[in-house]
């Protein structure tokens, strides 16, 4: 079965074709960075309009890339939540309509399930069961995963998501949007011994997170240390490094706890923040010590993309799941509400 995947939940338009026998056949991603950079963050209406402009050319592009025609598509999967409602509706409307025109089944996919299953796009991907740390711009969640659709939430952020904390702190440091990767790059030049940020909620039991205090800690440090007279690059790099170390340490500590609590032998790291080099490295080292194996997607499948949606869609479409002509998009949606497969 060949599935066309469409991702339009936020500021990337992603299109891919996944083949149940041959794996991922092709994919394209268009990032809206240029559209939103001048505003310092995502402008929902501009995101929707840009998706409208890009979805069809990208579908044609992926068909060309894979030497396939529309009639080779056996099913269509589109992100139907969580995300920006206008942006979601673009992918949902085009995906559902295309499936109707082609006479094939269509399915709305949970964006975070896409992220969660993305490491399985790799040849040597993880096998169920596992614990997953989902770290994106909107979510920080630890999930116990027994199979596709069998998800138990172990803990989550009570306030800002890890990616959101990266983005907000980057803004405080005067870095351009999108802040997370910019802050990580600046942190590479930082001295890890100069400042020490707290590791929130690690001094008490439990698997929840809280990252909004780190942003305030960063603000206070900036106000004390950064002067208006010089360029302050080194101080900012040191602050970026201290912030990154605090987030990474906190995530790693909670992952260890989750692995111990569940007895899991596999940890999956996914979502935009899983592109962070230091996080990938630390998780790898620490899981090895715990006797568990860590998996994460290749870099291009950490942030939003169509491949993860095509794959998650295939996992469900192949069991006969599909949606009626009346489709919907869901801006807020818990993964625990998804039906289990198999
Ligand atoms: O999964 P994603 O592309 O979109 C959402 O579903 O939210 O995640 C985007 C988030 C942003 O907050 C971005 O700053 C963060 O992932 N991010 C990073 C890195 N690359 C992306 N954060 C830290 N280090 C990175 N290298
Ligand atoms: Zn995402």
Q: Per-residue pLDDT tens for 261-293?
A: 999 999 999 999 999 999 999 999 999 999 999
> Tell me, what's the pLDDT at 231?
76
- In the chain the first and final C-alpha atoms are separated, in Å, by 18
Which two tokens mark 53?
């402009």
Q: How many CB atoms lie within 10 A of CB 39?
A: 10
Ligand 1 center to residue 273 CA distance, Å?
4
What tens digit of pLDDT does each residue of 28-71 get?
999 999 999 999 999 999 999 999 999 999 999 999 999 999 99
Does 26 sit in the ligand 1 pocket, CB within 6 Å? no
Q: Quick one: angle between helices 277-290 and 179-187, nearest 10?
A: 70
Looking at residue 226, its pLDDT comes to: 87
The backbone region for 186, taken as left when phi is positive above 0, alpha when psi lies in -120 to 50, beta otherwise, is alpha
pLDDT tens, position by position, 193-245:
999 999 999 999 999 999 999 999 999 999 999 887 677 999 999 999 999 99
Is the CB of residue 180 below 6 angstroms from any atom belonging to ligand 1?
A: yes
Q: Could you tell me if the CB of 275 is within 6 A of ligand 1?
A: yes
CA distances from 8 to 28, 31, 131, 151 (A): 12, 11, 27, 24
Q: State both tokens at 103.
A: 């006479």
Which residues are paired to 155 by β-bridges? 142
- Which of 110, 303, 306 to probe ligand 1 with, by most ligand atoms within 8 A of CB? 303
Q: By the 8 A CB rule, do 95 and 22 touch? A: no
Chain centroid to Cα 213, Å, comes to 22
CA distance 27 to 200: 38
**Residue 184 structure tokens:** 């990580």
Ligand 1 contact via 250 beta carbon (within 6 Å): no
Ligand nearest to the CA of 138: 1
Residue 272 beta carbon below 6 angstroms from any ligand 1 atom: yes
Is the CB of residue 314 less than 8 Å from the CB of residue 77? yes
Answer whether 0.85 is exceeded by the pTM: yes
* Tens-digit pLDDT profile for residues 91-142: 999 999 999 999 999 999 999 999 999 999 999 999 999 999 999 999 999 9
């Amino acid at each position: 079965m060949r599935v066309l995947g469409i991702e339009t939940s936020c500021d990337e338009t992603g299109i891919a074709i996944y083949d149940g026998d041959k794996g991922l056949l092709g994919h394209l991603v268009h990032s809206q960075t240029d559209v939103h950079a001048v505003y310092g963050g995502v402008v929902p209406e501009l995101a929707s309009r840009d998706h409208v402009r890009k979805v069809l050319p990208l579908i044609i592009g992926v068909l060309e890339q894979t030497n396939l025609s529309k009639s080779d598509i056996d099913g269509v999967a589109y992100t139907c939540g969580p995300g920006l409602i206008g942006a979601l509706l673009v992918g949902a409307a085009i995906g559902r309509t295309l499936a109707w025109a082609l006479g094939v089944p269509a399915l709305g996919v949970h964006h975070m399930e896409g992220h969660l299953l993305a490491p399985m796009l790799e040849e040597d991907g993880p096998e169920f069961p596992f614990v997953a740390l989902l770290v994106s711009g909107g979510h920080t969640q630890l999930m116990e995963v027994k199979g596709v659709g069998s998800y138990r939430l172990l803990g989550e952020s009570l306030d800002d998501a890890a990616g959101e904390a990266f983005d907000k702190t980057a803004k405080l440091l005067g870095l351009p949007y999108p802040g997370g990767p910019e802050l990580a790059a600046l942190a590479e030049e930082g001295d890890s011994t100069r400042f020490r940020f707290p590791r929130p909620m690690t001094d008490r039991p439990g698997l929840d997170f809280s990252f909004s205090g780190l942003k305030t800690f960063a603000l206070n440090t900036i106000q004390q240390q950064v002067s208006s007279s010089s360029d302050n690059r080194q101080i900012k790099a040191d602050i970026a490094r201290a912030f990154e170390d605090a987030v990474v340490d906190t995530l790693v500590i909670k992952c260890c706890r989750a692995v111990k609590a569940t007895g899991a032998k596999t940890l999956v790291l996914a979502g935009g923040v899983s592109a962070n080099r230091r996080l990938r490295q630390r998780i790898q080292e620490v899981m090895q010590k715990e006797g568990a194996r860590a998996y994460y997607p290749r870099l291009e499948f950490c942030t939003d993309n169509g491949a993860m949606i095509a794959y998650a869609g295939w996992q469900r479409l192949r069991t006969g799941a599909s949606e009626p002509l009346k489709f919907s998009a869901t801006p807020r949606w818990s993964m625990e509400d998804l039906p289990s497969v198999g």
